[in-house]
Structure 1
Amino acid sequence: MNRSRILSKIFWRHRPFSQIDYARPCSVTLGTNPLIIREQCTVILKDSYIKKFMKAVGWMDQERTRLKLTGYFLYECVPDKVAYAEWFEDLELPDTFASWFMITELHVWLLLVRYMAEDAMATGTDKKKYVKGDGHFVRNCIIEALWADVGNRIKLLEGANPAIARNQVTELSEQFQASLVAYDEGLSDDKVLAGAAWRRFYSLSEDVKAEHVARIVHFIRHQLSILDKIPSEDLRWKPQIDWLSIRNH
């Protein structure tokens, strides 16, 4: 009996387990050092090898998977539901990929503003403190979905060169980061917001009609108000966004 227990302990300690990095939900880091297991192995024995593997790669992390799907579904509400033709016609924008991206970028920013509010907490000084939570994770998933879509669309452009396409994505990425900062600065000031829209959509051209910029600002304010009224649970589990028409502003 004692000999049997000793052999069992030896076999358990030398099983070929690998260390796994759970820091990222969809990444697996293989290690070479054996995992140290407690002497009480009843809990470990309940999980099959398949379940352990699925947990390692993130398939069993239902919460993270749902949040990632939420991010992708939210992004899909932009290219699928935005009336791009109205933006081109009413704001006198050229029907080009660059214009499509600027319109998409603005709507994505609106989603980011709403979802980052999920991580805002009031402090004792009446100021809001942001913490990295579900909102931050979904925000990253929305941006990830955006660039996946942009990459696919650029490849479909006639005569697209892979090297040129990569450079275009890099340039768009830089413009995207600058636009997020500019729009954020305009959240509390319509004049600043109008300047950001004028710069982004019309490159500060003096020939642009002031009413076009004003319509963009009114659209942003109205859309943000509607997004803010969506309950957190609906935004998280029923990511369906109905975008306002630019013609109503």
Structure 2
Amino acid sequence: MACPSCRTALNLLPKGRPVTKSSIVSSSRFLSSRPTPSSATSTPPTTRQIQQQRSLHTTPSPLISFREIIGKRIANLAGNQSPYFIYTATERLYKQCAAQADYDISKDARKKKELKETEEGEEIGVFKIKNPWHDEFGLLPTFSTWAHVTMLHMYLLVVRLRNTEKIHQAAWQEQLVNHFFYQAEAKMEITHNLSSRVIRQTYLKDLFVQWRGLIMSCDEGLIKGDAVLASAVWRNLFKANEDVDLRSLAAVVSWMRSGIKKLDALPDELVWNSGEMVFKNLVVSEELRGVDVPSAVMRGEFVKEGLVR
């Protein structure tokens, strides 16, 4: 294939004449003797032409707005929605979820074989901090209690995530759930001395089924009413215990409703960047106090029946 200069030289040759070496050389000399645009003589531009050229350069192009949009999208991905930001933000949020009913197992009690167990065979430890889940509701410091209290807090965050852009919801929820299962496996191995990875994976699969079931049952309760939501809390948190205090069920349901409302009122930046402040005002014991105070309508009925004065 000929180069561009050779093709141009061939086009300049008279048609019908044979192509010889001398003809190609003469055509090449002709091309080299032609003046280039820089060497060609031209009249200097007028003031009006200079102003027109400047106006062409200063007029915004339609591509500028497109570039700005792409730049903002890239900045958004590299900033508040980057994988690293999502990982760190969900880690802060998850730590607050997991700390509500966190517990520990005494090593001395394990060595002396003095650990107590539930009827289901769960090891009973000691809560790390004083919390209403134990003091008010009587839940034992076990792995099951920690997991279900943590999942309830995570569920409130998952509902809050549904108020964000759909393109980011999956990434936020995935990282939040990953933090939970990483710590759950660590607790099985370190806290409960469960060294078999096969057994841990079996328990984690069961825990994942419980997590998915909690989401579905609580979603159904949010739609169908407090009775259905209380049934979901009773099955998951209280393990379908028939002797559970109904005040506790009502308090947890009220706490979930008020928690979703308070989280929805917070801006996204405050939720994602201030994980330690998210659950500060969501105290379940306050809802338990409210259960004991009847509403004005109920009090009127109680007065009519002579139950209260």
TM-score by length of 2: 0.54
Say what the alpha-carbon RMSD is for the aligned residues. Answer: 2.3
- In the alignment, the residues of structure 2 paired with residue 147 and residue 80 of structure 1 have an alpha-carbon distance, to the nearest angstrom, of 15
- In the alignment, the residues of structure 2 paired with residue 90 and residue 135 of structure 1 have an alpha-carbon distance, to the nearest angstrom, of 34
CA 1:169 to 1:90, structure 2 compared with 1: closer, same or farther past 3 Å?
same
Question: Residues 67-216 of structure 1: matches in 2 within 5 Å?
Answer: 67-80=86-99, 85-119=131-165, 131=166, 133-162=167-196, 163-188=198-223, 189-216=225-252
- The residue identity in structure 1 corresponding to 2:191 is L
Deviations 1:162-216 (A, max 9, x none): 2322221111111111111111111131111111011112233321111111111
- Number of residue pairs matched? 180
- In the alignment, the residues of structure 1 paired with residue 153 and residue 175 of structure 2 have an alpha-carbon distance, to the nearest angstrom, of 15
Q: Which runs of 4+ in 1 moved over 6 A?
A: none
- The residue identity in structure 1 corresponding to 2:256 is I
**1:245 is matched with which residue?**
283
- Deviation (angstroms), 1:245: 2.0
Kept in 2, the 8 Å contact 1:116–1:136? The answer is no
- In the alignment, the residues of structure 2 paired with residue 84 and residue 177 of structure 1 have an alpha-carbon distance, to the nearest angstrom, of 29
Gap regions ≥5 residues in structure 2:
1-76, 102-128, 288-309
- The residue identity in structure 2 corresponding to 1:248 is E
- In the alignment, the residues of structure 2 paired with residue 239 and residue 106 of structure 1 have an alpha-carbon distance, to the nearest angstrom, of 16
Deviations 1:43-84 (A, max 9, x none): xxxxxxxxxxxxxxxxx9552321222122211121235667
- Deviation (angstroms), 1:137: 1.2
TM-score by length of 1: 0.66
CA 1:171 to 1:81, structure 2 compared with 1: closer, same or farther past 3 Å?
closer
Deviations 1:68-104 (A, max 9, x none): 2212221112123566732022112122111111100
CA 1:81 to 1:97, structure 2 compared with 1: closer, same or farther past 3 Å?
closer
Question: Whose RCO is larger (CA < 8 A, sep 6+)?
Answer: 1
Farther-moved stretch of structure 1 (184-193 vs 161-170): 161-170
Larger radius of gyration: 2
**1:24 is matched with which residue?**
none
**Secondary structure of 2:162 counterpart:** helix
- The residue identity in structure 2 corresponding to 1:79 is A
- In the alignment, the residues of structure 2 paired with residue 113 and residue 242 of structure 1 have an alpha-carbon distance, to the nearest angstrom, of 14
